[in-house]
Amino acid sequence: MHILNSLLLFVLSGLFEIGGGYLVWLWLREGKSLWLVLCGAVLLTTYGFVATLQPANFGRAYAAYGGVFIILSILWGWKIDNVMPDRLDWLGAAIVLVGVLVMMYAPRT
């Protein structure tokens, strides 16, 4: 259960950060409503709080989160921006996922 909760926190953090950044992107790059940047700022702030709930120390949690962020960004690009990942994207995501699992959940001696 500990691992599932931690993975859920990573996914929530990633969705808040990517979603918030995407709303800022839409406002700044595509001239969308100012409300989007304000909502984006709220999501980005929320990301900062959710990320602190990880059970690991700061450095390990944020390093592992970077890997989860990569995977979620690939999925976001695919589902939101309609950019289909290729086999090298998936290979890279698999490598990163293994790194995240080792860093966060491998037994320590």
What would the pLDDT profile of 20-47 be if each residue is shown by its tens digit?
999 999 999 999 999 999 999 999 999 9
Q: What is the C-alpha separation between 68 and 66, in angstroms, rounded?
A: 5
3-state SS, the chain, equals CHHHHHHHHHHHHHHHHHHHHHHHHHHHHHCCCHHHHHHHHHHHHHHHHHHCCCCCCHHHHHHHHHHHHHHHHHHHHHHCCCCCCCHHHHHHHHHHHHHHHHHHHCCCC
The parent domain of residue 8 ranges over 2-105
Write down the pTM of the prediction: 0.88
pLDDT of residue 109: 82
What's the total number of domains in the chain? 1
